Amino acid sequence: MYEAYRPYPGTTLNMSEDILHNWQKKSASHIKEYRQFLKNKDTRTTLKRLPQLHEEAFEKIDCLQCAACCKNYSPRFKTPDIKRISKHLKMRESVFIDTYLNLDDEGDYVMKTTPCAFLGKDNACTIYSERPSDCRRFPYTDEDVFIKRKKITEKNVTFCPIAYYVLEKLMAIK
């Protein structure tokens, strides 16, 4: 289905090496290649490949073993998220905001603390069914954000093994 994986264009890889072995170190060293790829890729063709690579990545990687997104970063909490979550928690919206959120430099509500206050000891989200839309969509590997918002993708591949996996696979396909 896919060509032999290459860590970045022009290199080869021993097929016994796992794509995810030392992925964080590799992602940090591939940022320039990622930037170049995202700048020069064929958007339409790439977007067609994302859903399949997204599914493949989620079959191989268990988010509950990682939870780096929840441990180190905050999603944006949009008005519908705040309404839905505060209702679920049986809190007034203003109390929810005062308890859990701050406004960031861009005017978005984000968590006051890291890790996320809703991250359980087992790395599961305690409000999973009501989680913010940013959490539902993360790591954006099945939508155009992954290709069109290059800075977000460059950041995400450094801490999310799924984003890393999808981008590396995209780069390996000719």
Q: What is the pLDDT of residues 36-81, one digit of tens each?
A: 999 988 888 899 999 999 999 999 999 999 999 999 999 999 999 9
CA torsion sign, 29 to 151 to 147 to 73?
positive
Asked whether the predicted pLDDT for residue 9 surpasses 50, the reply is no
Q: Report residue 8's pLDDT band, with 50, 70 and 90 as the boundaries.
A: very low
pLDDT on residue 93? 98
Q: Report residue 174's pLDDT band, with 50, 70 and 90 as the boundaries.
A: low
* Nearest Cα to Cα of residue 133 among 154, 108, 151: 108
Query: What is the tens place of the pLDDT at every residue in 89-140?
Result: 999 999 999 999 999 999 999 999 999 999 999 999 999 999 999 999 999 9
Asked whether the predicted pLDDT for residue 19 surpasses 90, the reply is no
Asked whether the predicted pLDDT for residue 143 surpasses 50, the reply is yes
> What's the burial of 171, exposed, middle or buried (CB within 10 Å: 0-12/13-18/19+)?
buried
